[in-house]
Amino acid sequence: MTLADDPQIGALAQCLGDVVAASVIIDSLPVNPGPAVQFAVGVRRPKAATEVAHAVICTSWQGLDAAKRYAALARVALKSGRSARTQAPWTDFLKQPAVSVVGGSQGIVKLEANTPTRAGQVFLMAQNRDLPAFSR
């Protein structure tokens, strides 16, 4: 048995896609808009030297309704919200963001954005639970 055999971890890994680095976090703390059981972050390698790295954040929610609520909150946060930790606007770090409800039985939401500076910062964001619309 591998980690990918776990339904939630497998769904999160599939959501991340082909990344050069990833972290899957199991978190039982309640978050907005409900308990996110697990989430994953990753960074895709730029295809060319002239492109920037691309961050991928996938979250798993208890049901499609909670996933849709989070996606709506994340879209707003990415436009006008700030990091709870640094108070910097998300627009300073996450460029050209896109949020989609992947859905499925694991209630997956995918957030993608270009990260022109410090692509690895997405891992610090995950470690600190400082993700868009992810406040406790």
133 assigned to some structural domain:
no
Are 7 and 62 in contact by the 8 Å Cβ rule? The answer is no
For residue 37, what are the domain limits?
A: 3-127
Q: What is the reported pLDDT for 82?
A: 92
The CATH number of the domain where 61 resides is what? 3.30.1460
Taking 70 as the pLDDT cut, the residues of the chain under it are 1, 3-4, 27-37, 135-136
Report in angstroms the alpha-carbon separations of 106 from 21, 43, 73. 22, 22, 19
Give dist(CA 113, CA 64) in Å, integer.
23
106 assigned to some structural domain:
yes
Partners of 56 in the beta sheet?
42, 112
User: Residue 89 carries which DSSP code?
Assistant: B
113 assigned to some structural domain:
yes
56 assigned to some structural domain:
yes
102 assigned to some structural domain:
yes
99 assigned to some structural domain:
yes
The domain tally of the chain equals 1
Tens of pLDDT, residues 80-97: 999 988 899 999 989 999
Tokens of 59: 């979250």
pTM, to two decimals: 0.87
